[in-house]
Amino acid sequence: MAVRVPETQGGLSRRGLLPSVAASTVLLAALCRTRAWAHDKPDDLDRWARSLVDLNDRLARKVIGVTEWQDQVAVLNRSVPVEEIVRYLDVERITRDFRYPTLLAEFVDPVLPPEVLPAGRRHQWFVRVFGMRRGGAIIPHVHNNMVSAHLVVSGAFHARTHDRVQDQMDAVVLRPSLDQVIRIGDIITMSDRRDNQHWLVAQEDRSMTFDVGVVDLPASWSYGHKANAYHMIFVDADRPPERDGLIVAPIMTFQACAARYAA
């Protein structure tokens, strides 16, 4: 069963629709009960999934910090071949209804097997697969109170990330940190402390990322702007740098950002 969400909801792209902790847990549990696994799950993939769940839980319980989570999730998601993750999450099946009617991302939530989801655990994390056709974009934005990781599982993306240096009255000051094409097996991560702004443009049809995120985290940086309900602030990141190399990125509405970067 694939979970589909309308293209927009309340003026927001599907990229922004992050499930609440309660809804996410109930949804996963319900789907797991009805999931018909098409193949045996190798023990190492179950261990990978348990480790991912545990890593998210340790961050939510403040056992580790946000940059530790970034480092560890990158190592973890590189520890298993991408093609095995794709089979384990049944990515081909759950994305087969993607039609890419616009240059915004399609998304669907994979279902983890019930044995890797400890009963009674309640925390604010999600797993998600995003898909785009060539030219499609995850439009530029920063996050508040959130971390995420984006593993390329199909195609390729031009990835541009920035550290968030300062919030001004109507803009976010950014320091460029990455500007390159990322391909299958590459991963980028973000937090308050590192690479908070990210912007991806698909270089091929059916370019996809497997995403992991933890939301509703305590601030580890002093925010000057309130994010929307989905922890997002859209910015005009494609601006010429100032003399010091920093970019002053005006804050945009979702509609304006989508019109500029996904039209």
The share of the chain scoring above pLDDT 90, in percent, equals 77
Mean pLDDT of 8-12: 37
At 18-54, the pLDDT tens digits run: 443 333 433 343 334 334 343 455 688 999 999 999 9
Mean pLDDT of 208-220: 96
Burial class (CB within 10 angstroms; exposed 0-12, middle 13-18, buried 19+) of 10: exposed
pLDDT greater than 50 at residue 110: yes
pLDDT greater than 80 at residue 135: yes
pLDDT greater than 60 at residue 191: yes
Structure-model confidence comparison of residues 36 and 70, the more confident one: 70
At 163-184, the pLDDT tens digits run: 999 999 999 999 999 999 999 9
At 201-212, the pLDDT tens digits run: 999 999 999 999
Structure-model confidence comparison of residues 15 and 168, the more confident one: 168
pLDDT at 9: 32
Q: Average pLDDT, whole number, for the chain?
A: 87
- CA-CA distance, 2 to 94, in Å (whole number)? 5
Class of the CATH-defined domain 40-261 = mainly beta
pTM for the full predicted model: 0.85
**Around Cβ 244, how many Cβ atoms within 10 Å?**
8
- CA-CA distance, 107 to 99, in Å (whole number)? 11
pLDDT greater than 70 at residue 3: no
Mean pLDDT of 90-107: 97
pLDDT at 31: 38
88: amino acid identity, one letter: Y
Beta bridge partners of 209: 130, 152
pLDDT at 117: 83
Closest CA to 65 of 214, 205, 184: 214
pLDDT at 36: 37
pLDDT at 116: 87
pLDDT at 40: 53
pLDDT at 162: 98
Q: Report the greatest alpha carbon distance in the chain.
A: 57
pLDDT at 91: 97
Confidence of residue 114 (pLDDT cuts 50, 70, 90): confident
DSSP 105-169: PEEE-----GGGS-TT----EEEEEEEE-TT-EEEEEEESSEEEEEEEEESEEEEEEEEEEEE-S
pLDDT at 123: 65
Let me know: does 207 contact 154? Beta carbons within 8 Å. Answer: yes
Domain spans of the chain, in order of start: 40-261
